[in-house]
Structure formats: structure tokens, C-alpha cells
Structure 1
């Protein structure tokens, strides 16, 4: 029997988050709400040729997060310098969020949208940059 589109779980590729503390920009504005997209194979591989990662492998997480975070408050651009400027609690939060949405341990949970009731699977997991 073939599944119809209505029978298949929806694939979400972007997930909203709220930082515990927030990023304070040079103008003094605090940015807490953001969005992260699922990582691609290219996202996982391209930091490996980044000179900053080659010189300091611990920098991998910074570069990787700068690639997959698509929005943070009203910032026009998210790059490694923004991720470097996060407080440790926010950086840890984003690393855990990355692991969870990218299903790095293979477990998923089914949740329902509180507004419309649509059910979809969200990944839960661990392993930032360890695919």
C-alpha cells in the first residue's frame, strides 16, 4: 500500500528557539529569538577546510552554528563573530538544540501544533558535528 502525502509525517527543516540570556549587539540591543535550520552534509564538511578550524578544532562548533542559524533577533547577518560573542550558557543551549533538531541519536518525538493540531515528528538527540 502506498502512503499518500496526507499520511506521511511532515518534514520540518527550520526550528525556532529562544536563547536563555541573549546576544547583546554593539548598539546595546538584546537578541533572544532565533531560527535554526537542519544541517546538510555540506554544513558538516565545509568547516573542516576552514583555516580557523584547522588551527583550532574546537572552533568547529562555532563555524557550524554560524552556518545553520538563519535568524537571531533583528541581526542582518549571522556569522562566526556573532556566535563567538554569545555567553557560554547560550552557546551550550545552541549546541544542544543543534543535536536535538538534527536527530543525531536517532530518536524522535511526535508533537502537535497547539494552534492547528497538526502532528509532526521532531528529532531528539546529541552529537554536535559528529555525524
Structure 2
């Protein structure tokens, strides 16, 4: 019928979009002064974050460098280091680079930082948060 409005829908609680994720590097970034930085934050990637590195000459010369440029765009802090650039990412230990790659995939593809694991002793399966929060923190 013309002029009849749809009945009001019940309001659902709004879900907040989480755009930044804290993490704890397994080894840590060692700065020029020898200070180890482990705690950091990564933000969700935008389409621009994934497109801009494709125009980078370093990526054109070596496709593997895409990871470095992309992580430098989305990692906002590692310890006291807030100017995270390709040089910082290049100097991470391999274990830390792999950790950040996995975290990037989880938060941008799956939308969370949980991973399913299994107890090696009893075989019980459960989920853990791989972002590095301390025990008892949410």
C-alpha cells in the first residue's frame, strides 16, 4: 500500500568494530641502542594499504618485499618505536616477522586473533588469543 511505513524493527545492540590489535612479539625488535621492544599494535588494513605497496619499486624488484612494506603500513607501534617503517620491519627477527604475518592474516581475513590449539598431553582442544596478551587480560 502506498503511504504505509514499515513497522519499526527491534533494535539490536551495536557491535563495535575493533580496528586495532595489541600484540607481543616472540623475540622483540632490537633498536640501535640495544633496547628490546616487544609489545606493539597493528591496525586493520585498508584497501589502500594493500594497493600502494604494489607501486613500490622495492616490491616490483622483489615480490617478497611486499610483506615488509605492507607490515610497515599497518604496524603502528613496537614498544616505544612509533615510527615503524620498512627499515624497522627489515630488522625484525624471522620469528617476529612470521608472527606479524600470521597476525595480519588473522585480523584482516578472519577478523580475530584466536587460534585453535590442542593440549599435547591430554588432546583437549581449546582456543587461545595469539595477539600476546598476558594471562588474565582480555
Q: Which residue pairs with 1:46 in the alignment?
A: 52
Aligned length: 107
Where in structure 2 are the equivalents of 1:1-131 lying within 5 Å?
A: 1=9, 3-4=11-12, 7-102=13-108, 104=109, 106=110
Q: Matched residue of 1:71: which SS?
A: strand
Are the structure 2 counterparts of residues 34 and 109 from structure 1 closer, same or farther at C-alpha, using a change threshold of 3 Å?
Answer: closer
- Deviations along 1:60-85, one digit per CA (max 9) or x if unpaired, are 00000000000111114100000000
Query: Where in structure 1 do 4 or more consecutive aligned residues deviate above 2 Å?
Result: 106-110
Are the structure 2 counterparts of residues 15 and 107 from structure 1 closer, same or farther at C-alpha, using a change threshold of 3 Å?
Answer: closer
- Per-residue deviation at 1:10? 1.2
Q: Aligned Cα RMSD in Å?
A: 2.0
- Per-residue deviation at 1:32? 0.2
Highest CA radius of gyration, 1 or 2?
Answer: 2
- Per-residue deviation at 1:9? 1.6
Length-normalised TM-score, structure 1: 0.76
Contact 2:59 2:65 (C-alpha < 8 Å) held by counterparts: yes
- Deviations along 1:37-73, one digit per CA (max 9) or x if unpaired, are 0000000000000000000000000000000000111
Contact 2:107 2:113 (C-alpha < 8 Å) held by counterparts: no
Q: Matched residue of 2:38: which SS?
A: strand
Using the alignment, how far apart are the partners of 1:46 and 1:107 within structure 2?
Answer: 22
Query: Unpaired runs of 5+ in structure 2?
Result: 1-8, 115-138
Length-normalised TM-score, structure 2: 0.72
